[in-house]
Structure 1
C-alpha cells in the first residue's frame, strides 16, 4: 500500500512532532492499534489525523476499511521515519527547526479558525428560518426544469458495421414493442452500455442540455410512460429509448430545498465570521510592513 508522503525528511519530523511524539508509551486506558518496539499508534492518533482531512470527506474515510488502513499506515510509517531522523540528528538542523516552528504556527492557526466556527454556532442561529425567508423572497429561483426519466438499450458500432448495428437495434426495438419481456431484461441481454450492470439501462431523470442532441430530442419527444422511441443514432451508437416518467417544470417546495439551503446559509455565516476576524487581524493598528525588505525576497535575475 502506498503512503502519500510529503517531500523531504523535514515534513516527517513536523508530522511526528505535532501529531504525537514518535516514541511514547500508550496511556494505560488507550487501545494500541499498531506497535513496533517503542513506537505506538492509538485511536487518538487516528482521530487527530482524521481531523486534518476536510470535514466533507471524513465520513467517507472513516467508513472505508481500506482508507482507515491507509491512514494508520501513514501515521505509523511517518512515526518510524521520524524516529530514524531524530537518531540522525536531523531535528537539530536549523532549517528543519524553522519548518517545525512554521508548521506548528499553521496548525495552531487552523485550530483557532475551527474554534471561531464552533463559537459562531454556540448561539444556535436559526438557519432554517433564514432559509425559509430566502426561499419565500425568491421562490422562482428554485425552478426544476422539465425532465424525463428514461431507460435505454445501446448497440455500439465499434465491433460491427453501422448497417449491422442499426439492423440489430431495429430487431431489439421490435422485441421491446411486443412487451413479451421487461425492457430491463432486454437491456441486460442486448445493451452494450458500460454502466449496464449498475443501472440495467435505467438512466434516471435527465434534463435538456446534458445528453447528446439526438438522444435528447428523441427522449423528450416521448409523451406517455412505456412509449418506445424509434432507433436513434448518436456518437455512442444506436439507442432504443423507453419513457418511464415525465415531469413538467415546477417550483420546488421549501422542504425539497431546505437541507441544501440551510447548509449553504450556515456555511456563508461561518465563513463571514472567520473572514471578519481575519480582516481585523490584517487591519489591526500598529502593523509595520517593511516593503523595501520585501523587494529583496525576489530572486535576482541571473546574468547570461
Structure 2
C-alpha cells in the first residue's frame, strides 16, 4: 500500500509491514523485575476471574441474574488481559517489541471491542440492580433467563458492528512513515496518529463510536442508580437502607474504577500530554483493574465466600 498523500517521486516508499511497541523505555533496564511483577499480577487476575466464572457455574445458589452478569464480566476481563499482557511480558523479558501489521490490528480490535462490551455490560448490571431494588416483587419475572441472555447479546450486538467498522476504517489508512507506537499495545488512537493519510474523517468516526458507547452506558447507569437512590431513601429503616446499598457497593466500586481510568486516559486538555500519560494510566486499566474486580466481588460477598469454602472442601474430600 503506497502513501496516498505523498508526491509521485516518493511513490516507491513501501508500506509499513510491522510496528514497534515502545513499551516503557525509561525503565526498560528493569525488564526482568517488571516481567516478574506483571507476570504475578497477570496470573492472579486470570485466576481470580476464572474462579468467579467457575464458582458461578458450579454452585446452583449463584444461578441468579446478578452472578450471571458477573461471570460474563469476569470472562470478558480474562479475554481482555490475555489480549494485552502476554505481549507486554515478552517486551519486558525478551525485548521483542515488534508486532506485525495484522497482529496489531487484531489486538486493537480485541482491546476496543471487549472494552466497549464491558462498558455496556456494566450498564446492564446497573439495570439488574435497579429491578432488584425498585421492583423486588417482579424481579424474578422481569430478569428471567431469556431476558438475561438477550441483554448480554445486546451488549455484543451493539459493540461488534461499531468497533468492527472503526477498526476496518483505520486499517485502510496508509502507514508509510513512523512505525513506533509510543505504547505497550496497539492503541487505535495512536495508529490513527501514525498514518500518513488524511485522518480527519477517521478521527470523527472514532469520536462518534466512543461517544455512542460511553454515553449509552453512562445514561443507563445514571438513570438506574438515580432511581435506586430515590427508592432506598424512602425505605423506613436504616437497616433496610444499609442492606440495599450493600448490594450495589461492589458494582459501584468496579464501575468507578472503569470510568475513572478511561476519563484519566482520554479526557486531557492537550493531546501531547494525553499521549505521554496514556501508558501509565492504561497499565492500571489493563493490569490493576482486572485484578481488583474479583477481589472486590469476592471479599464483599458472603454467598461467594460460602460457595468458595464448600467447593474447596469438596475438592479436598475428593482427593
Is the pair's TM-score, using the shorter chain for normalization, greater than 0.5?
no
- Higher RCO by CA contacts (8 Å cutoff, separation 6 or greater): 2
TM-score, reference length from structure 2: 0.22
Which structure has more strand as a fraction of its residues? 1
TM-score, reference length from structure 1: 0.23
For the pair shown, the structure with the greater C-alpha radius of gyration is 1
